[in-house]
Amino acid sequence: KTTNKGAIIGVTLSIVVAFLLKIPSLELPWMDQMFYTLIITMVIIAGVSLTTSYDVDDPKGIPLTAATFKTESAFNISAYAILIILAVLYTVFW
């Protein structure tokens, strides 16, 4: 679980990290910069969340149960049909 504080600090520091990785002396490829920014941001978010974690759930939080993600069979069948149609179109026009 992450906290609001961890997410906000992580997002704001990711901008700083991205700018620091653009220093010309590093000359990192763009994808490497994005990868390092992602990893460093995730570590920051996890660190802040673990150090400020509370054992009690937030009363304003949304409780997630298995029933929240339950879908009807008609939806499942139509989703699979769309996936199959897209896969066929993709292989035909590749």
> Any idea where the domains of the chain sit in the sequence?
4-55+68-92
* Percent of the chain as helix, strand, coil, to the nearest 5: 65, 0, 35
Task: Note the pTM of the prediction, 2 decimals.
Answer: 0.62
Long-range residue pairs from 7-16, CB within 8 A, at least 24 positions apart, any chain:
7/45, 9/44, 9/45, 9/48, 10/41, 10/42, 10/44, 10/45, 10/48, 11/41, 13/41, 13/44, 14/40, 14/41, 14/44
CA–CA distance, 44 with 31 (Å, rounded to integer): 20
Going residue by residue through the chain, which has 94 residues, state the pLDDT in tens, using 9 for 90 and above: 788 889 999 999 999 999 998 887 778 899 999 999 999 999 999 999 889 867 777 788 788 889 999 999 999 999 999 999 999 999 999 8
Whole-number Å distance between alpha carbons of 23 and 90: 41
